[in-house]
Structure 1
Amino acid sequence: MRSALVVGGLVAVATVAVVGISAVTTVVREDQEADQARRMTISCNASLGPITSGPAGSGAADAAKLSEEQRGTVAMIISIGKKRELPPRAWQVAIQAGMTESGLRSLDHGDRDSLGIFQMRPSMGWGTPAQVTDPDYAINKFYDVLEAVPNWEQRRPGESAQDVERSAFPDRYHKWEPMAAHLIGNVGLVADPTGCGQGTGVLLAAPTKSAGEAIKFALAQQGKPYQWGALTTHQNSFDCSSLMLQAYRSAGVTLPRVSRQQFQAGAMLPVEQAQPGDLLFWAYDPSNPATIHHVAMYLGDGKIVEAQQTGVPVHIRPVRWGEAELVAQAVRPGV
């Protein structure tokens, strides 16, 4: 860390042993009912879902490589975040920062006098060497500074991590988005990271009854896991096209199984004119429908609901008309 931030107030030094794998389940499962009640009081931002990037499945794959020490650090980040009644978005920021700075380990060395999980520098006012190498102190200090960052909840997690760390390499925190999203969903046992439940913010009315029924079905699946090749005969898990197929099947409209076929299963219109219930598509070559690899449902107000990738539950996220690989045509099923 190359930060010049100075945060007043020091706490007593405490030695905290990093919990092992055997303790992780206990740590994250305790007081689940209380956690649910707390999330109901967290301010909701429906435009923010689990923000991820990287190849499909990379989040779960990276998480599977973590050592016992690293998993213990994740458990502490989540446990302390819960005790402080911080939303899961804060846990994601801390996990990405810790993985980038130290590999989620409490290091006794670093660049210049940088130490600990977040490579805090005692010379820059972060605390004594003993304090910044104490995981409990370091995690709480990180959260202290994060909470002081204006509008941190509204930003991409890696950007918020940079606001705390002040690194000379600001983009490197984004690398761990998929893994952090996987961990808050699977280790933190949180299906609804934004605290919004099935809410979607201010959305346009669906243009047809079938679109409205399809949207209702898709939103009811939020929090369920992604599974490539998921069966279309149950609702325990979904991939992108099975979610669309079942959503429209609930409305009496039959869609083909895979996204490339679904692109041909309705009326086409410019993507910028999409209305709630229309399907949006992503392709390796947006000009070639044969390369389509993903489909999602537009909700209006610049949002989609999707089953995105392994390690990321069904969720709502913002969409930009100019984002990479987005096909220029939307499809309106049943028309």
Structure 2
Amino acid sequence: MRGAVVIGVLAAAGLVTVISTGVLTVVSSDQAADALQTRSLSCNASLGPATTGPAGSGAGDAGRLTDEQRGTVALIISIGKQRDLAPRAWQVAIQAGMTESGLRSLNYGDRDSLGIFQMRPSMGWGSPAEVTNPTYAVNKFYDVLLKVPDWENQRPGESAQDVERSAFPDRYHRWEAMASHLIGELGQVTNATGCGQGMGVLLPPSAMAGSAIQFALGQQGKPYVWGAPTTHQNSYDCSSLMLQAYRSAGVTLPRTSREQYRAGALLPVEQAQPGDLLFWAYDERDPRTIHHVAMYLGDGKIVEAQQSGVPVHIRSVSWTEGELVNQAVRPGV
């Protein structure tokens, strides 16, 4: 059956309280220990965005969750804390649960898939009664995650895929920023990657970024040609300009804008620094629909090869611009 998380179980563990608004907040019984655990993490920006900031960081998606969904998140975090697992493990579980069931304990699914993580009894995940028990399901998910080689050093969605083995592996990335926001909000952890509040501050523009910017600016006025060769500098399309700019700085990027989105450290777009790549997509939440890339110059400006009839140029950009993806990419990191 479709059941909500049993709040009484959580309250008994001493890790969850209900505040006056009815929203669940995970309260650690040992905040000092949690802070120490977080500080022990090494900074790895390539794991994806981890920020509790508002716009573009998952706060919007988190704000649309129901009490049932937030209760599931609270359970995932509280069990993770009980088991002394790093916040990265909580994030993997949140992304998997949101993707598989919308963070609900379902009594139905594809074939015999059931529960928060759509575990299949026929595949050895447990009995139907067990996999639809939220506490069992979360613990079982963590058990399997901990057996994934090097799971801590992968992007959270990749680790979720290693546990779930979905036919659609990229879909777990969609909830990356939301899961990170919830770690900060419900888990009261403000530094889940070990990188501090916002990765952009801790990854300043490099000499490589400076060289790439210099190259891109030197191409202003040259024509846009879709599919332009990357072996000359007579014309460009959006991704060939980025490829050649970073190639001049000693960094190899793949050819297309969609591939370039996966070619560096992700960070919230509002924290972009000069040299970072910005992306536009028909569906901002789905990287598979990316159709354009440009280089951020700082001070609200980008350089880009935009479209036919428009030469390489500089223009202003707004973080609320239509189709702008919420994550920027820092090549070479």
TM range (shorter): 0.5 to 0.7
Q: Which letter does structure 1 place at the counterpart of 2:153?
A: Q
Q: Does 1:279 align with 2:278?
A: no
Q: Quick one: structure 1 residues 155 and 289, their matched pair in 2 at CA, closer, same or farther if it must change by over 3 Å?
A: same
Residue 37 of structure 1: CA displacement? 2.2
What is the rounded CA distance, in whole Å, between the counterparts of 2:179 and 2:5 in structure 1?
A: 23
Quote the residue 1:320 is aligned against.
331
* Contact 1:21–1:68, Cα closer than 8 Å, also in 2: no
Identity %: 56
Residue 269 of structure 1: CA displacement? 2.2
Residue 290 of structure 1: CA displacement? 0.6
Q: 1:22 aligns with which of 18, 22, 29?
A: 18
Quote the residue 1:253 is aligned against.
none
Quote the residue 2:101 is aligned against.
102
Residue 31 of structure 1: CA displacement? 2.1
What is the rounded CA distance, in whole Å, between the counterparts of 1:125 and 1:97 in structure 2?
A: 18
Q: Does 1:289 align with 2:317?
A: no
What is the rounded CA distance, in whole Å, between the counterparts of 1:27 and 1:281 in structure 2?
A: 35
Superposed CA deviations along residues 52-89 of structure 1, whole A, max 9, x for unmatched, are 7xxx6361111111001000000111111112121111
Q: RMSD of the alignment, in Å?
A: 3.9
What is the rounded CA distance, in whole Å, between the counterparts of 1:49 and 1:293 in structure 2?
A: 25
* Contact 2:26–2:187, Cα closer than 8 Å, also in 1: no
Aligned partner of residue 290 in structure 1, secondary structure: strand
Aligned partner of residue 189 in structure 1, secondary structure: coil
Q: Which letter does structure 1 place at the counterpart of 2:6?
A: A
Superposed CA deviations along residues 100-148 of structure 1, whole A, max 9, x for unmatched, are 1111001111111111100111111111111111111100110110110
Quote the residue 1:269 is aligned against.
214
* Contact 1:89–1:157, Cα closer than 8 Å, also in 2: yes
Residue 197 of structure 1: CA displacement? 5.2
Q: How does 1:147-296 map to 2 (within 5 A)?
A: 147-195=146-194, 218-219=201-202, 269-270=214-215, 272=246, 273=249, 279-282=274-277, 285=294, 286-287=304-305, 288-293=313-318
What is the TM-score normalised by the length of structure 1?
A: 0.57
Superposed CA deviations along residues 207-235 of structure 1, whole A, max 9, x for unmatched, are xxxxxxxx9xx44xx9xxxxxxxxxxxxx
What is the TM-score normalised by the length of structure 2?
A: 0.57
* Contact 1:93–1:161, Cα closer than 8 Å, also in 2: yes
Residue 168 of structure 1: CA displacement? 1.6
What is the rounded CA distance, in whole Å, between the counterparts of 1:96 and 1:179 in structure 2?
A: 8
Q: Quick one: structure 1 residues 49 and 174, their matched pair in 2 at CA, closer, same or farther if it must change by over 3 Å?
A: closer
Please, which runs of 5 or more residues in structure 1 have no aligned partner?
A: 1-14, 201-214, 223-242, 245-266, 295-307, 324-335
What is the rounded CA distance, in whole Å, between the counterparts of 1:109 and 1:34 in structure 2?
A: 39
